[in-house]
Structure 1
Amino acid sequence: MTNAINNTGVGAVRETLRFDEIRLAEWMREHVDGFSGPLTIDQFQGGQSNPTYRLTTPTGSYVMRRKPPGDILKGAHAVDREYRVIAALHSADFPVPRVYGLCTDPSVIGTEFYVMDMVHGRVIWDPRFAEVPSSERSRYFDEMNATIARLHSVDYSAIGLTDYGRSGNYFERQIARWSRQYQEDVLAGRDRNMDKLVEWLPENIPPGDETSIVHGDFRCDNMIFHPTEPRVLAVLDWELSTLGHPLADFAYHAMMYRLPPTIMSGLAGEDLGALGIPSEAEYVQAYCRRTGRDAIPGYEFYIAFNMFRFAAILHGIKGRQLRGNASSAKASDLASKFEPLTQLAWEQAEIAMRR
């Protein structure tokens, strides 16, 4: 059996992210049912903005997510929000890990944190699902489709998340936010296609408004699949979750069909039939069927919006790199994708204009 630890890589806790392990063990004895030491602690080596740790005992294994130490932006790294949405969704029988408790007392390990179950399974990093036999890939895609449709069908009021975000006008607020961030970062420069998107997007928002829980980063590598079956055991990484428009969330997920491997792990240019992967049209139809829609009017807009949002994030990385506030190798690679992505985003907008 493989698990998420093996896929993401785990190692010794980084020196700057160490904490009082004895205090943590004491907290777990009080708050985690069935906990019994000794406790062994390792750190996931991926690029999580909230440091993530594997906690191992002779009888079980857990995951801890914490705020990073030091000065951080107000509202950033909100592990309390992650804990809240995971706990609420678990109560609705949605596939998320069981959470044991949230600690808001910084005297325990120095920052807020929460502890949840370690879910054993496998993480699929490549949307081509190369490690899965081609005859089974369509079932994995159908399971992802069913999972995001199920998320958007959860009654957020019934599980206590009415105030988890603002309802209504999601696109107006998001476009304004990312436009402002792009325009204010003078050092990172301006881009012709991005400027056109800043003008075009707010004037072309499709009619109709909906609100649901949105994940914000729904990708195959943010799920843990059963070790041998096309079944999602847990959806991870809820840092960007909020209340928002479900079609924005779905289009972000479906954007894998439009992105080439040169920008992000995507399926553009692939022979989907040969790979055993459903077409984009089939995937959209399956989501519509599950959510009671006949179609998604404005789908091209939603794709363009998500590419714009992604481009704004890359623009911010470019700015941090130029200021010397980002790790050079990875930041440089991401920043180099900004202009190709803005060109692709504007091409999506042009397609939307022709529809």
Structure 2
Amino acid sequence: MGEFILSQDSREPDKLPIENLAHYLADKMPVFIQSKQLHIKQFSAGASNLTYQLTSGEQSVILRRPPSGTKAASAHDMVREYNVIKSVGAFYNLSPKPLLLCEDENVIGEKFFIMEQIIGLGIDKNLPVEMSKKQQLKLCENFVIGLSQLHSIDISSKELSQLGKPEGYVERQLEGWQKRFIKAKTDDVGSSDKIYQWLSIHLPKNSGYQSLVHNDYKFDNLILDPDKPENIKGVLDWEMTTLGDPLLDLGCTLAYWVNADDDAGMQAIRMMPTHLDGMMTRQQVFESYCSIRKIKSFDLAPYYVFGLFRLAVIAQQIYYRFYHGQTDNPKFKNFGQLVNILLNKAEQEIA
């Protein structure tokens, strides 16, 4: 393909067949690739679906594809994720704009989709730039507002009502995650049985609320405004979005939220800078959420414990792939320890 200048910066197991992709883009997105250049850069963040930046000239877009190796039945459905962000985008201005869906697995070996790149700052274990305590608090407030706005969208429209079945959502989630854990369990992690049995009794099956649920709403799925980093420009990773119980979604969000006074185990697995002095605590996030949505306070414990349990299962599914040699990504090596810390935290909460 001599007429194109092609380059790629991706992990060896995750490299895309760049010539095939360039041919495809020349046909489907000719305006994007009119410079006759294509550079692919894989993002290191994320432990589920793989994300790449495609750059041609001055333009950049994002490609999403499933990971290699064994996959949970519905966790990596590219067609569904594309349709979700397409549907949600009409009602929620923080979701990225979908550009192209490819269901032909001959192009790169998997179905994939392309969406706009929201330019801004990402968050990982640390803040991307220095922020005052006042800015940190404002970021937390905007974070809660973003989740509250998502949960307040009218889901009766044709576009959104087809995204899931909110009736029986909690039962399906609890049963489903327990089954996934059992299927992915390895010998070096603990049991989830005690937690599952406790949740079966204490987790409300019907809170009375139904909404869109993002199912992965957390700091490292946000894009911040570079000029005012306390402001949120975008929310990413909609692969698990459906219709369900927003209080369960809140619990899943708080499972990632490590307070400054949490024990050493939780500090060791902290993925976001929620421990900083200017950040809200989990309790403050909860209270702010209830206030913004004008709902009565409720017992958060079952929802938080479910969030910890679900996060442990997600980590275990990823660790299972590493344990059995289906991926050699070194960042997954210690996920078994992560699973045990989360299970222990959940057991402490129900003691």
TM-score, with length taken from structure 1? 0.82
Correspondent of 2:278 among 271, 276, 279: 276
Please state how far the C-alpha of 1:261 moved relative to its aligned partner. 1.9
Which of 29, 35, 50 is the aligned partner of 1:37?
Answer: 35
Give, as a single letter, the amino acid of the residue that structure 2 aligns with 1:151. L
Alignment of 1:77-156 (within 5 A): 77-126=76-125, 131-156=130-155
Alignment partner of 1:199 is 2:197: yes
* Paired residue secondary structure (1:160): helix
Kept in 1, the 8 Å contact 2:26–2:33? The answer is no
CA contact (8 A) 2:70 2:321 kept: no
The answer to which of 105-114 and 87-96 deviates more is 105-114
Task: Look up the match of 2:304.
Answer: 303
Kept after mapping to 2: 8 A contact 1:54/1:64: yes
Out of 72-81 and 95-104, give the one that drifted further: 72-81
Deviation, 1:266, is 5.6
2:178 aligned with 1:179, yes or no? yes
The question of whether the paired residues in 1 share the 8 Å contact of 2:16 and 2:108 is answered with: no
**Structure 1: unaligned runs, 5 residues or longer:** 1-9, 351-355
Cα drift, residue 182 of structure 1: 2.8
Partner amino acid, structure 2, of 1:38: K
Where in structure 2 are there 5+ consecutive unaligned residues?
Answer: 1-7
Letter in 1 for 2:225: H
What are the Cα deviations for residues 110-146 of structure 1, in whole angstroms up to 9, with x where unaligned?
4322221111110121367773222311111111111
Shift of 1:73: 5.6
Code of the aligned partner of 1:50: N
CA–CA distance in structure 2, aligned partners of residues 51 and 315 of structure 1 = 18
Task: Name the % identity.
Answer: 26
Would you say the 8 A contact 1:307–1:342 is kept in 2? yes
Structure 1 counterpart of 2:336: 335
Distance in 1 between residues matched to 2:330 and 2:100, nearest whole Å: 37
CA shift at 1:35, angstroms? 6.2
Q: Give how far 1:219 is off.
A: 1.0
1: CA distance, partners of 2:186 / 2:69: 25
Alpha-carbon distance in structure 2 between the residues aligned to 1:108 and 1:328: 24
Displacement, 1:306?
A: 0.9
Give the match's secondary structure for 1:91: coil
* Range with greater deviation from structure 2 (64-73 or 162-171): 64-73
Distance 1:316 1:51 in 2: 15
Give distance in 1, aligned partners of 2:99 and 2:342: 40
Contact kept? 2:99, 2:114, Cα under 8 Å: yes
Counterpart position of 2:53: 54
Q: Deviations over 1:37-87 (max 9, x none)?
A: 323221224145333222223342211223457885643421111111111
Q: Does 1:293 align with 2:295?
A: yes
> 1:54 is paired with a residue of what secondary structure?
strand
* Corresponding residue number in structure 2 for 1:324: 325
Q: Distance in 1 between matches of 2:325 and 2:55?
A: 37
Q: How many residues align?
A: 333
Does structure 2 retain, via aligned residues, the 8 Å contact 1:169–1:209? no
Letter in 2 for 1:324: G
